[in-house]
Structure 1
């Protein structure tokens, strides 16, 4: 059996509209929005009775997706958004961009904050981490040629 692809990465947010706006500004495209509820959904997640608003955003090449979710029921029970970069578990999502400075300027208007500084990685990439909406950790990389 062969793995076909990684379908998406799920991110839980409080403000779905703000998160969608941020990722669209980054360059992802809104694929669709839906409300998910019902007994079947609770069987998949193990949460029982749930009601979730979701938005799927994808990269322009169509190969990568983020599923942004806002739980209406049950209530969110943990918050890992401000964990430091050496915390166990999922860390961040990294995006390749054409122009890092322009991307930082555009995302700054949506509240993005630089975590450390922009660095040159061996003359191959300019890299940085930012905190996006609700403190989500996002990596940005500009390939140098």
Structure 2
């Protein structure tokens, strides 16, 4: 048996259409832009299997510093498929879930950025209020407000 243990999860990667709108959307949720860069060249394409590529990347961090989203916008080669309209029971990665202090206030702010509720804000027992939203760029985001924690 190999002596290999998981150290941490570094980030979740999300391919976006509009980098500026996506950064603004995730900043509205409360993530902080850590940095932006462009990754290009044959070496990067060897990792992704896409060959020569040019990708704009923005790294967004949660306030506690433990979780990150890596937003990517492919300049070359261009995006070839679009899963943003897939229903929540489609196979593959579903969504990113954030715990927030005030779900109603945040949903109202995100709707000003073009977000839409997928269903409705629902209370689960006396523990959480939960909802799914789609951002303007079509990304599916989960929000959870833990009750009794204010």
Partner of 1:34: 37
Q: TM-score, normalised by structure 1?
A: 0.98
Secondary structure at the counterpart of residue 94 of structure 1: strand
Q: Tell me the distance in 1 between the aligned counterparts of 2:40 and 2:108.
A: 38
RMSD, aligned α-carbons: 0.6
Deviations 1:77-123 (A, max 9, x none): 10001100000000000000000011111111111100000000111
Partner of 1:70: 73
Compute the displacement of 1:2 (Å). 1.2
Gaps of 5+ in 1: none
Compute the displacement of 1:3 (Å). 0.4
1:44 and 2:32 are equivalent in the alignment: no
Partner of 2:122: 119
Secondary structure at the counterpart of residue 133 of structure 2: strand
4+ runs deviating over 2 angstroms: none
**1:105 maps to which of 99, 105, 108:** 108
Partner of 2:146: 143
Compute the displacement of 1:133 (Å). 2.6
Secondary structure at the counterpart of residue 99 of structure 2: strand
Q: Tell me the distance in 1 between the aligned counterparts of 2:137 and 2:115.
A: 9
**2:63 maps to which of 55, 60, 63:** 60
Compute the displacement of 1:63 (Å). 0.3
Partner of 2:98: 95
Secondary structure at the counterpart of residue 62 of structure 1: coil
